[in-house]
Amino acid sequence: MATATPAATSTVDLGPAAALSCRECGTRFPLGPSFACLECFGPLEIAYDYSDHGAAELRARIEAGPASIWRYAPLLPVPADVATKPNLNPGWTPLVEADRLGKELGFTARLHVKDDSGNPTHSFKDRVVACAIEAARAFDFTTLSCSSTGNLAGAVGAAAARAGLRSCVFIPHDLEHAKIVMAAVYGGDLVGIEGNYDDVNRFCSELIGDPAGEGWGFVNVNLRPYYGEGSKTLAFEICEQLGWRLPEQIVIPIASGSQLTKIDKGLRELIELGLVEDRPYRIFGAQATGCSPVAEAFKAGRDVIRPVKPDTIAKSLAIGNPADGPYVLDIARRTGGAVEDVTDAEVVEAIRLLARTEGIFAETAGGVTIGVLKKLVESGQLDPDKETVAINTGDGLKTLDAAAGAGLTAVIRPSLESFRAAGLV
Q: Write down all domains in the chain, each with its CATH number in brackets.
A: 95-121+228-403 (3.40.50.1100), 124-224 (3.40.50.1100)
Strand, helix or coil at 144? strand
- pLDDT score for 162: 96
Q: Which residues of the chain have pLDDT under 50?
A: 1-10
Check the CA dihedral 123-126-128-129 and report its sign: positive
- pLDDT score for 307: 96
CA of residue 104 relative to chain centroid, distance: 26
Strands 388-392 and 111-115: parallel
- pLDDT score for 425: 82
Number of H helices, E strands in the chain: 14, 13
Q: Would residue 125 be called left, alpha or beta, if left means φ above 0 and alpha means ψ between -120 and 50 degrees?
A: alpha
User: What confidence tens digit (pLDDT) does each residue in 1-21 have?
Assistant: 334 444 444 478 999 999 999
pTM, two decimals, is 0.93
Quote the DSSP letter at residue 46.
E
Strands 95-97 and 216-218: unpaired
CA–CA distance, 372 with 35 (Å, rounded to integer): 31
User: Do 331 and 261 touch, CB atoms closer than 8 A?
Assistant: yes
CA–CA distance, 9 with 139 (Å, rounded to integer): 10
User: What confidence tens digit (pLDDT) does each residue in 371-397 have?
Assistant: 999 999 999 999 999 999 999 999 999
SS3 annotation, 203-238: HHHHHHCCHHHCCEEECCCCCHHHHHHCCHHHHHHH
User: Do 322 and 256 touch, CB atoms closer than 8 A?
Assistant: yes
- pLDDT score for 8: 43
User: Do 261 and 335 touch, CB atoms closer than 8 A?
Assistant: no
Quote the DSSP letter at residue 391.
E
CA–CA distance, 207 with 146 (Å, rounded to integer): 11
CA–CA distance, 312 with 297 (Å, rounded to integer): 18
